[in-house]
Amino acid sequence: MKSAKLIRSIIFFIILIIVLGLLSYIFMKKDSRHYKYQFLTSDAEYDALFFGSSHVHEGIDPVVLWEDFGIRSYNLASAGESVQMTYYVVREALLKAQPKVIFIDSFKIGDGDSLDQSYSFVHESIDAFPLNSTKLEAIDYASQFLEQNKFSFLSKLYAYHGRYGELGRKDFKNEYTFDKGAYIMTSIVPVEKPVLTGSREKTELKGGLGVKAYENILELCQEKGIKCVLLSVPMKAGRFDEEYFNALAALTEEYGGYYIEGNAAVDEIGLDFDHDFGDTESHLNLLGAKKFTSYVGEFLSGKLGIADGRGGADAPLWEADMRRWSEQKKDLLEEKKDAVAYLFGIYDPLYTAEVYVREPGLIDRQYGLRFCLDTMGIEPEEAGDDVLGSGAYDMRIRVRYTGSDEQLTEQYFSFDKERNIFKTDE
Q: Give SS3 for 290.
A: helix
39 in Cβ contact with 96 (< 8 Å): yes
Neighbours of 287 (CB within 10 A): 23
175 pLDDT more than 80: no
Residues 6+ apart with CB under 8 A from 248: 106, 109, 205, 211, 214, 230, 259
Q: What is the pLDDT of residue 21?
A: 59
22 pLDDT more than 80: no
**Tens of pLDDT, residues 118-130:** 888 998 999 889 9
Residues 6+ apart with CB under 8 A from 19: none
Q: How far apart are CA 191 and CA 213, in angstroms?
A: 31
pTM for this one?
A: 0.91
Q: What is the pLDDT of residue 136?
A: 94
Residue type, 138: A
Nearest to residue 60, comparing CAs of 175, 164, 183, 162?
Answer: 183
Q: How far apart are CA 338 and CA 349, in angstroms?
A: 21
Residue type, 384: G
Tell me the C-alpha to C-alpha distance, in Å, between residue 358 and each of 334, 374, 385, 414.
22, 19, 8, 10
Cross-strand bridge partners of residue 356: 381, 396
173 pLDDT more than 80: no
Residues 6+ apart with CB under 8 A from 59: 233, 234, 283, 284, 288, 289, 292, 293
Largest CA distance in the chain: 84
Q: What is the pLDDT of residue 5?
A: 72
Q: What is the pLDDT of residue 174?
A: 55
Residues 311-339: b if buried by 16+ CB within 10 A, e if exposed: eeeeeeebeebbeebbeebbeebeebbbb
Residues 6+ apart with CB under 8 A from 162: none
Q: Give SS3 for 185.
A: strand
With both helix axes pointing from N to C terminus, report the angle between 119-126 and 31-41 in degrees, rounded to the nearest 10.
20
Q: How far apart are CA 100 and CA 225, in angstroms?
A: 8
**Tens of pLDDT, residues 214-223:** 999 999 999 9
Q: What is the mean pLDDT of residues 312-325?
A: 95
**Tens of pLDDT, residues 55-111:** 999 999 999 999 999 999 999 999 999 999 999 999 999 999 999 999 999 999 999
